[in-house]
């Protein structure tokens, strides 16, 4: 029932172009941490990720949407294919590839690993989420847990025997974690009794692993109010005996499955902890530092959300582009003779507009995701301490952007993909409507886009008296300076917008009326995001032009990069100034408490 396509949802050519031609990832090999690799390894793992994704993840993309997990009151049933995909991922070593050799990994750079993960997200975003949650959870335990916790929980997680969850939200506390109510009471043996309800817990119940390891935020009795009184606990579905064997079921009960518009392949649950007073949990690290531990993972989680949004955008673009080359409809403007044959819709100007807009959004976002992922590597391994610090500031600055911009504009790309397919695109016989439904989650989870905008304007651009925004400006200007002559006019246009962005940002930082401006944070975030994507397109187009000048690479691919850059600059970049002009306006309607009827 699903329209077949020979087009892979994510282009390895494009990923490798970004990694090696734009980001020069081969430079990572000069760092001691990665010196045991060579570029052939990088290419090989990317190829392996692509192949496995198509074979084991994409194969049940529609099926996992059609046959949601079910709950009969006792057990949750999921597709066999989902478990098979999870195990194949683990067996291929992708769950541990970023870890040191002593932890069973190969210390793959984060940017390369993130690129591998992008293929799995493109194949099946909800099946991949089981693995991301497990990877994040095991990372938290590995970083902050005790030796016993690592042995008992992290190790089986890395073997895929236990899968993980993150239990932060509650029914009355989603964006506002300061208000979570789940309680923890210390027992004489050092464990804690947990009691409370958690909401939106992905992978919260299923039968695909021997155990489920919940990482749960809760308040210890007497803890300070707000975010400084939150601790982090490991709460297993089944208790674990000292020898590692599984004991009785812990007091964690599935209250119900949430039924979402998309992401239907992964269970999303309401979980009751301690309804019978017997929910055992284990404190991770110290009391009251739970949120801090969780947020250590947050930058990377937000890059993952942005990347997931991006690859759905890319997948829709690639599907609709391929479709447009085979679908015949109408004739070119000016050809009125109905005796002439119909033309592929790829030739209609408005269809080309929709394709190029998708390409500009989705491939621009992909460049940003990989750029940001590379910053994670630079923070960890750049030999120059000052460069590490600069990378850290840039990562902090770009994290809200890489989470929010792709989840907004690649959703719009999916909207256009449907439009290219017309009525067919609106049916469940083609993947583009599922991309659209799946992508709609991304502006919501891991911090809503509204919160990302507040983070960007309210915190990040003002960090260290604007040091991050200054560094941002320097990086963009450096790329403007080295743009090939053939596209210098475009580079200069970007420079004009950049000056305006930096000037306004500086004046906002120094002005005291922050509440007034913060009310317009979303407009600022749009402007910042579009400027950033323009920069990413300049970098891609420069790399492409340089290759074309040298007569290297695949001409059609490279020329399309330049075309998309020009299109984005011609049709979208002026929006930067449009949005910026709104930011300094004091909008009483947003600041008042008058009912909006």
Least Å from the CB of residue 431 to its own copies: 12
Tracing tokens 């609106």 back to the chain, one arrives at: 426
Least Å from the CB of residue 327 to its own copies: 9
The secondary structure of 343-386 as a DSSP string is: -BGGGSHHHHHHHHHHHHHHHHHHHHHHHHHHHHHHHHH-SSHH
Site for its own copies in 565-584 (CB under 8 A): 566-567, 570-571, 574-575, 578, 581-582
Site for its own copies in 254-273 (CB under 8 A): 258-262
- Give buried/exposed letters for 124-150 (b at 16+ CB in 10 A, else e): bbbbbbbbbbbbbbbbbbbebbeeebb
Candidates 26, 38, 80, 175; binder of its own copies (CB under 8 A) is 175
Site for its own copies in 86-125 (CB under 8 A): none
Least Å from the CB of residue 415 to its own copies: 8
For 442, phi then psi, to 5°, come to -60, -35
Site for its own copies in 486-515 (CB under 8 A): 514-515
Candidates 75, 91, 207, 226; binder of its own copies (CB under 8 A) is 226
- Give buried/exposed letters for 161-185 (b at 16+ CB in 10 A, else e): ebbbbbbbbbeebbeebeebebbbe
Least Å from the CB of residue 416 to its own copies: 10
Least Å from the CB of residue 426 to its own copies: 5
* Whole-angstrom distance, CA of residue 220 vs CA of residue 457: 33
Neighbours of 463 (CB within 10 A): 14
Candidates 78, 111, 127, 169; binder of its own copies (CB under 8 A) is 169
C-alpha torsion 114→120→126→127, nearest 10: -120
478 binds its own copies (CB under 8 A): no
Least Å from the CB of residue 124 to its own copies: 18
* Residue closer to its own copies, measured from CB, 183 or 428: 428
Local structure of 176: helix, strand or coil: coil
222 binds its own copies (CB under 8 A): no
User: Does the active-site annotation cover 151?
Assistant: no
* Residue closer to its own copies, measured from CB, 14 or 300: 14
* Whole-angstrom distance, CA of residue 106 vs CA of residue 109: 9
Site for its own copies in 515-534 (CB under 8 A): 515, 518-523
Least Å from the CB of residue 249 to its own copies: 27
Count of residues near its own copies by CB under 8 A: 99
Q: Binding string to its own copies for residues 396 to 435, with x set by CB under 8 A, is what?
A: ---------------x---x--xx--xx-xxxxx---x--
* Residue closer to its own copies, measured from CB, 140 or 418: 418
Token code pair at residue 453: 């905008």
Residue 33: DSSP 8-state? G
* Residue closer to its own copies, measured from CB, 157 or 305: 305
449 binds its own copies (CB under 8 A): yes
Of these residues, 300, 396, 446, 572, which one is catalytic? 446
* Residue closer to its own copies, measured from CB, 162 or 361: 361
- Give buried/exposed letters for 329-358 (b at 16+ CB in 10 A, else e): eebeeeeeeeeeeeeebbebeebbebbbbb
Least Å from the CB of residue 179 to its own copies: 6
CA 440 to chain centre: 13
* Residue closer to its own copies, measured from CB, 240 or 365: 365
**381 Cβ contact list (under 8 Å, min separation 6):** 28, 31, 33, 34, 109
Q: Give the Å distances, CA to CA, from 219 to 14, 216, 223, 472.
A: 46, 10, 6, 39
Local structure of 76: helix, strand or coil: strand
61 binds its own copies (CB under 8 A): no
Q: Give the Å distances, CA to CA, from 46 to 14, 98, 102, 308, 389.
A: 12, 14, 23, 17, 29
* Whole-angstrom distance, CA of residue 437 vs CA of residue 454: 26
Q: Which stretch binds its own copies (CB under 8 A): 75-83, 116-124, 241-249, 446-454?
A: 446-454
Site for its own copies in 309-368 (CB under 8 A): 321, 325, 328-331, 333-334, 337-339, 342, 346-356, 359
* Residue closer to its own copies, measured from CB, 86 or 271: 271
* Residue closer to its own copies, measured from CB, 305 or 356: 356
Least Å from the CB of residue 457 to its own copies: 11
- Residues involved in catalysis: 446
């Amino acid at each position: 029932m699903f329209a077949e396509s020979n087009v892979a949802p994510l282009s390895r050519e494009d990923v490798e172009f970004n990694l090696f031609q734009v980001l020069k990832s081969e430079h990572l090999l000069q760092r001691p941490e990665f010196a045991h690799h060579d570029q052939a390894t990088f290419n090989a793992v990317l190829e392996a990720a692509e192949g496995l994704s198509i074979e084991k993840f994409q194969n049940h993309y529609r099926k996992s949407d059609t046959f949601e997990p079910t709950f009969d009151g006792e057990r949750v049933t999921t597709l066999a294919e989902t478990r098979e995909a999870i195990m194949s991922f683990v067996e291929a070593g992708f769950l541990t590839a970023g870890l040191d050799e002593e932890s069973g990994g190969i210390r793959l750079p984060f940017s390369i690993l993130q690129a591998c993960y992008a293929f799995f997200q493109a194949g099946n975003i909800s099946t991949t989420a089981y693995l991301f949650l497990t990877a994040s959870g095991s990372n938290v335990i590995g970083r902050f847990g005790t030796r016993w916790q690592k042995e008992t929980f992290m190790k089986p997680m890395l073997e895929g025997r236990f899968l993980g969850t993150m239990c932060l939200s509650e029914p009355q506390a989603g964006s506002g974690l300061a208000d979570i109510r789940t309680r923890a009471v210390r027992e004489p043996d050092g464990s804690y009794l947990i009691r409370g309800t958690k909401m939106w817990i992905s992978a919260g119940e299923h039968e695909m692993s021997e155990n489920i390891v919940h990482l749960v935020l809760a308040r210890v009795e007497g803890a300070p109010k707000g975010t400084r009184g939150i601790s982090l606990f490991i709460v297993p579905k089944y208790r674990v005996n000292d020898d590692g064997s599984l004991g009785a079921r812990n007091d964690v009960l599935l209250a119900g499955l949430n039924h979402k518009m998309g992401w239907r392949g992964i269970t999303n649950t309401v979980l009751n902890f301690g309804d019978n007073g017997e929910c055992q949990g284990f404190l991770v690290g110290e009391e009251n530092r739970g949120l801090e531990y969780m947020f250590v993972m947050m930058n990377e989680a937000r890059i993952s959300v942005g990347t997931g949004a991006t690859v759905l955008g890319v997948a829709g673009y690639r599907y609709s582009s391929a479709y447009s080359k085979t679908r015949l409809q109408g004739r070119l403007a000016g050809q009125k003779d109905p005796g002439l044959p119909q033309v592929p819709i790829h030739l209609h100007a408005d269809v080309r507009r929709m394709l190029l807009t998708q390409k500009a959004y989705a491939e621009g976002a992909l460049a940003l995701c990989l750029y940001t992922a590379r910053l994670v590597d630079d923070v960890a391994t750049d030999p120059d301490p000052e460069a590490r610090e600069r990378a850290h500031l840039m990562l902090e600055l770009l994290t809200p952007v890489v989470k929010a911009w792709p989840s907004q504009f690649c959703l719009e790309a999916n909207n256009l993909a449907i439009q290219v397919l017309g009525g067919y695109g609106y049916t469940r016989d083609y993947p583009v409507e599922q991309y659209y439904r799946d992508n709609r989650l991304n502006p919501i989870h891991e911090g809503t886009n509204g919160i990302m905008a507040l983070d960007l304007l309210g915190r990040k651009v003002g960090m260290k008296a604007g040091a991050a925004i200054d560094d941002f400006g320097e990086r963009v200007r450096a790329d403007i300076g080295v743009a090939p002559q053939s596209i210098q006019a475009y580079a200069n246009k970007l420079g004009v917008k950049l000056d305006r962005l930096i000037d306004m940002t500086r004046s906002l930082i120094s002005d005291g009326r922050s509440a007034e401006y913060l009310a317009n944070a979303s407009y600022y975030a749009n402007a910042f995001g579009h400027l950033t994507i323009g920069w990413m397109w300049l970098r891609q187009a420069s790399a492409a032009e340089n290759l074309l000048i040298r007569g290297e690479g695949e001409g059609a691919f490279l020329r399309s990069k330049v075309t998309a850059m020009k299109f984005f600059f011609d049709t979208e970049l002026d929006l930067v100034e449009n949005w910026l002009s709104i930011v300094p306006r004091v909008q009483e309607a947003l600041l008042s408490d008058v009912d909006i009827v």
